[in-house]
Structure 1
Amino acid sequence: MGDQLLVGTRKGLLILRRDSAGDWRQDSVHFLGEPVSMVLADPRDGNLYAALNLGHFGVKLWRRRAHGTEWGVCSVPVYPPQPEPDPRRESAPDGVPAAARTGDRAEASPPAPVPWSLQQIWSMEAGGTDEPGVLWVGTLPGGLFRSGDGGATWALNRPLWDRPERSEWFGGGYDTPGIHSICVDPRDSRHVTVAVSCGGVWQTRDGGKSWNCTASGMVADYMPPERREDGNIQDPHRLVQCAGHPNAMWVQHHGGIFRSGDGGMHWQRLHARPSSFGFAVAAHPRRPNTAWFVPAVKDECRVPVDGRLVVTRTRDGGVSFDVFSDGLPDVPAYDLVYRHGLAVDHSGDRLAMGSTTGGLWISESGGERWKLFSAHLPPIYCVRFS
């Protein structure tokens, strides 16, 4: 099981360890007082990475070597110079006509250009076991970056960035689009799937040289009827993959829960109680039909349903859902869980969940019972076992 837990918060990175008695204790705190937007424990070499969002001081990325104690600065992804818009026609900076951007009349006014500058590291994943040093990073405003040397240098994936469809992407939770989920196929490192808010699900099978939008079956209820099934404007909140059966993928979407059994090529909409809306999802590492969610009220009232924080689990591919609250706070509780605030370790029995109001819970029973670690942490952005 994962006996170390990384907790990225608005005021630092907490590292928890499980002692011989089975109790979780805080081992150390790093970057105290600074927002940690994403963390990664590279399973290939044991290196730790922490991404910080320092506002006026920009985005920073730090690395701690395996068995080391000191953090060293890595480079951060840098966008290329942004081209000037063509004054001769109404278009976005990328040269895409307004009609293509809006899917409506040619005279529609263009959206504001998305700045080509790093605003946040929103996701970070290691490459395959056959790719030592390869890291993938998803960012706001929607760029995917790759490093081949453990974060020393980064390159923007231009084939995805230069897709004409990107001009239609828009913010979901933030003012600009962002790539918050990256899944590297354990069978083939060249096969990478990413999810964009709001820009759908995209896949490459050649290491990033070409991309296809694969959101067939997803439905965006917030769009006009004629565009609700348009893959390029879907808002997946979080995408995860079953490591042992990579064809099984789950998405917690703005419009509900979706599951794919064919590697994300087609999606089926599922319905859960007390709600199918939420942000977080975790997939069992070996059982393709098992996943966990944290439901909430939709849209403008983003709180737990009836003020009751629960975790739901399906073990039959979404046909039915169990609802668990043992160990979670009594009504009223208004904790919300961000996209990366729910994690399961490689055993599939141990889970961790962190909330926007600083609650951290750990389950040793597949989510059926929870134990509070602390109710007084800073808002939690991400939790990851290592």
Structure 2
Amino acid sequence: MNICLSPGGGSVYDSPAWSGRLLVGTQGGVVELEELSDSWREVGRGLTEHHVCALIAEPVSGNYYAGTHDAGVFVSPDGRHWQPASKGLEHSNVFSMTSVRRLDGKVRLYAGTEPAALFESRDFGESWQRLTGLEATTGREGWMFPAPPFVAHIKQIVVDPQDANAIYICVEQGGLYSSRDAGQTWIEHTAGMPNDAHRVLLHPTRSGRLFLANGFFFNRSDDGGKTWFEMKEQTRKIGYADPLVYHPRRPETMFVSGAFATPDTWVKGSADVSIARSRDGGDSWQYARGGLPAEIRPSVEAMCLEAMGDACRVFIGNTDGEVWMTQDEGEQWRRIGAGMPPVSKCFHADLINGKLDLTEVRIPDEIRALMEQMVQRPA
């Protein structure tokens, strides 16, 4: 199957051979890139009237699924021809999607929405049901996104590869939550932390080790999310951490990307992004941005890793409508796509390009203090 690159969809692929095709979720639909002998080219677009935030490839059915910001979910047998697939989906704004094949061979699809709710499909998207257990979670009354429309959303959904009943969600803003019973009951893991949860990564071979990319630096837990510590001394250039992936065959190899500070600083025209890599399971990090501009102005909103054996290729998509790729784990990047609509989860592209005024934001005083510390710290 083709691999997918999007802010809220699939991000780790283990392929028998390089796929050679990449589906990219953008503010103007799905863009298809094809690999040639020494370059890539754009070969098609679909769903051009929709802002696509999440793309996943589901291998059992062979289908692709797209979550949009305005029209729910769409399904495609080939990544080119799309049909609505939103029966039972109560909200049209879909931020995140994932799928899991259970031990009995059956597949479940998950969709996270704004307002923050989690939906499940057991029939390959023909129908959806809300997982109502999330409505009883601790701290739910405080979930709120600080910019209009001030409504929280589920930014990412992760299923534990060792346990199909274990689901993790990142609520922006609300925190990191997990369920051990396939979504019936939930536990909060980020009480007392800034609750701007972006991405979670479960280390597949180190039991209890979690990584959380959020709006205030980058955090690691070694006890399953009971306690956390910041890794800002190791990744000082990444304050607003976001895309986060690992190598499925060599899970000690990981990548994280993020802006220097929170989006309120991007109005100057730059997110000042950095990309870091770890080869020891997240104990230490090095910047991996060879070949990229000295200052990465656009926000990197999506990242995916395709493994083939021990080798891997990492792709990133940004708010300038570009796709970059590295074949040597970040030693050298090259641009393989440009001129596309922005790859952006919501308003970030407009913010950087001066098309949006964020003067009306609702940020608690303690969070504003953290934001000021972030901007004032040395790089």
Query: TM (normalized to structure 2)?
Result: 0.76
Alpha-carbon distance in 1 for matches of 2:265, 2:80: 43
1:211-222 counterparts in 2 under 5 A?
A: 211-215=186-190, 219-220=193-194
Amino acid at match of 2:75: R
The corresponding residue for 2:171 is: 196
Which of 282, 302, 315 is equivalent to 2:279?
315
Confirm or deny that 1:334 pairs with 2:345: no
Confirm or deny that 1:210 pairs with 2:222: no
Kindly state the Cα deviation for residue 199 of structure 1 after the two structures are TM-superposed: 1.3
Confirm or deny that 1:360 pairs with 2:308: no
In 2 relative to 1, CA 354–163 (structure 1 residues): closer, same or farther, beyond 3 Å? Answer: same
The corresponding residue for 1:46 is: 62
In 2 relative to 1, CA 177–69 (structure 1 residues): closer, same or farther, beyond 3 Å? Answer: closer
After superposition, the C-alpha distances for 1:238-259 in whole angstroms (9 at most, x for unaligned) are 2233456674432111121112
After superposition, the C-alpha distances for 1:309-333 in whole angstroms (9 at most, x for unaligned) are 43211223444321233221244x4
Confirm or deny that 1:13 pairs with 2:25: no
Kindly state the Cα deviation for residue 134 of structure 1 after the two structures are TM-superposed: 1.1
Alpha-carbon distance in 2 for matches of 1:245, 1:22: 38
The corresponding residue for 1:167 is: 141
Alpha-carbon distance in 2 for matches of 1:257, 1:367: 19
Task: Judge conservation of contact 1:203–1:214 (CA < 8 Å) in 2.
Answer: yes
Kindly state the Cα deviation for residue 194 of structure 1 after the two structures are TM-superposed: 1.0
In 2 relative to 1, CA 172–185 (structure 1 residues): closer, same or farther, beyond 3 Å? Answer: farther
The corresponding residue for 2:304 is: 343
Any unmatched runs of 5+ in structure 1?
80-117, 221-233
Kindly state the Cα deviation for residue 296 of structure 1 after the two structures are TM-superposed: 1.7
Alpha-carbon distance in 2 for matches of 1:303, 1:129: 45
Mean Cα deviation higher: 300-309 or 251-260: 300-309
Which of 68, 84, 92 is equivalent to 1:73?
84
Which of 247, 251, 256 is equivalent to 1:284?
247
Which of 29, 37, 44 is equivalent to 2:53?
37
Task: Judge conservation of contact 1:297–1:303 (CA < 8 Å) in 2.
Answer: no
Query: Identity percentage over the alignment?
Result: 27
Alpha-carbon distance in 2 for matches of 1:246, 1:22: 41
In 2 relative to 1, CA 69–351 (structure 1 residues): closer, same or farther, beyond 3 Å? Answer: closer
In 2 relative to 1, CA 253–309 (structure 1 residues): closer, same or farther, beyond 3 Å? Answer: closer
Alpha-carbon distance in 2 for matches of 1:307, 1:196: 22
Task: Judge conservation of contact 1:295–1:305 (CA < 8 Å) in 2.
Answer: no
Alpha-carbon distance in 2 for matches of 1:303, 1:244: 41
The corresponding residue for 1:186 is: 161
Kindly state the Cα deviation for residue 8 of structure 1 after the two structures are TM-superposed: 0.5
Alpha-carbon distance in 1 for matches of 2:206, 2:35: 28
Structure with bigger RCO (C-alpha 8 Å, 6+ apart):
2
In 2 relative to 1, CA 152–119 (structure 1 residues): closer, same or farther, beyond 3 Å? Answer: closer
Mean Cα deviation higher: 367-376 or 22-31: 22-31
Alpha-carbon distance in 1 for matches of 2:245, 2:79: 30
The corresponding residue for 2:40 is: 24
After superposition, the C-alpha distances for 1:265-290 in whole angstroms (9 at most, x for unaligned) are 44332121323333222223244443
Task: Judge conservation of contact 2:270–2:298 (CA < 8 Å) in 1.
Answer: no
In 2 relative to 1, CA 172–369 (structure 1 residues): closer, same or farther, beyond 3 Å? Answer: farther
The corresponding residue for 1:249 is: 210
RMSD, aligned α-carbons: 2.7
In 2 relative to 1, CA 353–76 (structure 1 residues): closer, same or farther, beyond 3 Å? Answer: farther
Task: Judge conservation of contact 2:138–2:187 (CA < 8 Å) in 1.
Answer: no
Bigger CA radius of gyration = 1
Confirm or deny that 1:258 pairs with 2:270: no
Query: TM (normalized to structure 1)?
Result: 0.75
Alpha-carbon distance in 1 for matches of 2:110, 2:259: 30
Alpha-carbon distance in 1 for matches of 2:128, 2:152: 20
Confirm or deny that 1:140 pairs with 2:156: no
Three-state SS of the structure 1 residue aligned to 2:133 is helix
After superposition, the C-alpha distances for 1:206-242 in whole angstroms (9 at most, x for unaligned) are 11121111226x732xxxxxxxxxxxxx111222334
Task: Judge conservation of contact 1:12–1:34 (CA < 8 Å) in 2.
Answer: yes
Task: Judge conservation of contact 2:271–2:299 (CA < 8 Å) in 1.
Answer: no
Alpha-carbon distance in 1 for matches of 2:267, 2:303: 16
Aligned positions, number: 321
